[in-house]
Amino acid sequence: MARRRTKKRTHVGANNPVTPAAVNGHANTRDPKSMVIRIGAGEVGTSVSQLATDVRRVMEPGTASRLKERKANRLRDYVTMCGPLGVTHLLLFSRSESGNTNLRLAIAPRGPTFHFRVEQYSLTKDVRRAQRHPRGGGKEYITPPLLVMNNFTSPTSDANTKVPRHLESLTTTAFQSLFPPINPQTTPLKSIKRVLLLNREQSDDGTFIVNFRHYAITTKAVGLSRPLRRLKAAEKILKSSKDKKGGLPNLGKLNDISEFLIGGENGEGYMTDATSGSEPDTDAEVEVLETAAKKVHSGKARAAEQEGDDEEAGTNNNVERRAVKLVELGPRMRLRMTKVEEGLCSGKVMWHEYVHKTKEEIRELEERWERRKKEKEARKKQQKENVEKKRKAKAGSNKSGEAEGVGKDDKMDVDESDSDLYEEDAFDSEGLEGDAEEQVNARMEEGGEWEDEEEEIAKSKRSKKKSLRT
């Protein structure tokens, strides 16, 4: 009987981890999720569209990478879907009539919203074009980046400064919540492949400017010559299932392996980073514990190895020194905060860079917002009562002994997707059930049109009943 096949490429097997936590150490269903959106898909231009695409790459894997915006989509459409999809953050790119590129960072579902002006930006393709050896497009985007924030809180700030202390702490919390927290005890070092650097420029003129940088982390062994590093890389290639022709060194013209290590007949000898005469950059060197699998020895071999470890007293052969280097991936942005709102892209203005209110004006705004809130709650309550009243009336009419066919005709009268209810420039829900109808009903009720509509519906029902009886 043939041996049963074990699927390892698309199923959980020997080469695939059982859970996502085994890959990055902190994968969880409660991790923050984001949507990077360009508002006004046909008006922002190609550069801003590409910038939004590059920022999506930065936010991976917890973002909607293949999101397709339509020109008819409105902000309400995306906000409505935040709850079912578990989206916690919205990054909205737009362009004003004066040509300024703006970015809004909104925390769903209740805010706050941070407004930034993108003063300068460079796309990922521009950053790669300026580098000699660009990096990216590999496995760097499988895990979220490491967030590094600098100078977000000033030691001299307080409640009376131009940028108050509570605004600094609120902005810090908003950016920290973009990515899942990292647990140093459980997160493997190999899962941290990228760094997102947010650096605030210190200024005394009341501006809040953040520099946005995105890097990839690369490491290489220190203390080995270049030929020896090539041999180690060739050993890994031989053990892997990749193409073995491109990465192997050519030793066909050499008599011995030593000629390759010392540089041929006229070589200068075996040289390392420590003996080459150049001063190594010790600030970028770290000690890393090797995670390579060890060969299982017999009992005698383990005893001999343990005796050798006791003699060496404190030396650890598994620790190697590696040099850490950052390679920029892009994009770059220089963000200037202009406004902070209390709600999700609406609500009271908590801070503004250009507009400053007096205490009396702030008190008037508070009263105005309270009045608007009460009016909105009253409209919702009245609309709910009207819906309940109609439902009870309909249930009573069904119990009075109407024919079954009449009930079906009544149901056909109410067309929830009737296109006549929508104006050309009105709200477009793009297939989101219930939102457009609720907004149209609220608008009709505010203008006093709903009572007329209700009378027309009642008249049409009475005329249909008479025609059926005759």
- Render 125-139 in DSSP notation, one character per residue: HHHHHT-SS---SSG
Angle at which helices 449-469 and 404-413 cross, to 10°: 150
Cβ contact 101:39 at 8 Å: no
In a domain, 421, yes or no: no
Q: Determine how β-strand 209-221 pairs with β-strand 146-150.
A: unpaired
CATH number at residue 145: 3.40.50
For the chain, the straight-line distance linking the first and the last C-alpha, in angstroms and rounded, comes to: 79
**Parallel, antiparallel, or unpaired for β 34-38 and 89-95?**
parallel
Question: What is the span of the domain harbouring residue 35?
Answer: 21-183+198-203+330-352
Q: 327 φ, ψ to 5°? A: -115, 125
Structural domain includes residue 14: no
Residues 101 and 244 in one domain: no
pLDDT value, residue 184: 79
Q: 30 with 165, same domain? A: yes
What is the rounded CA–CA span in Å between residue 387 and residue 381?
10
297: Cα separation from own chain's centroid: 46
- The C-alpha atoms of residue 372 and residue 380 are separated, in whole angstroms, by 12
For residues 249 and 237, give the distance between their C-alpha atoms in angstroms, rounded to a whole number: 11
State the residue for tokens 């590999």. 138
CB 223 within 8 A of CB 323: no
Length of the chain: 470
What is the pLDDT at residue 115? 96
Dihedral angle, C-alpha 178, 183, 184, 188, nearest 10 °:
-90
Shared domain check, 28 and 158 = yes
CA dist., res. 103 & res. 118, Å (int) = 7
Same domain, 102 and 90: yes
* Residues 74, 145 within the same domain: yes
Cα separation of 208 and 338, whole Å? 8
Task: Please answer whether residues 90 and 106 qualify as being in contact, where contact means their C-beta atoms are separated by less than 8 angstroms.
Answer: yes
CA distance linking residue 202 with residue 153, whole number of Å = 10
The DSSP 8-state label assigned to residue 63 in this structure reads B
pLDDT per position in the chain (470 positions), as tens?
A: 567 777 766 655 445 444 544 444 445 778 999 999 998 766 788 999 999 999 999 999 999 998 988 888 888 899 999 999 999 999 999 998 888 999 999 999 888 999 999 999 999 999 999 998 888 767 889 999 999 999 999 888 888 888 899 999 999 999 999 999 888 788 887 888 999 999 999 887 878 999 999 999 988 777 666 677 767 777 766 666 666 555 667 777 777 777 666 665 454 444 555 444 444 454 566 666 655 555 555 666 667 666 655 555 445 556 777 788 899 998 999 999 999 999 898 888 889 998 887 778 878 888 888 888 889 899 999 999 999 999 988 888 887 755 555 444 444 443 433 333 333 343 343 333 444 455 556 666 666 655 565 666 666 666 655 555 55
Residue 102 and residue 168 in one domain: yes
Residue 137 pLDDT: 67
Q: Which residues contact 85 (CB under 8 A, 6 or more apart)?
A: 33
Looking at the structure, tell me whether residues 161 and 270 fall in a common domain.
no
Do 229 and 323 belong together in one domain?
yes
Same domain, residue pair 166 and 148? yes
Q: Are residues 102 and 40 in the same domain?
A: yes
Return the bridge partners of 289, or none: 319
Our count of domains for the chain comes to 3
**To which residue do tokens 């590696």 refer?**
322
179 with 30, same domain: the answer is: yes
**From CA 307, how far away is CA 254, in angstroms rounded?**
40
Shared-domain flag, residues 78 and 67? yes
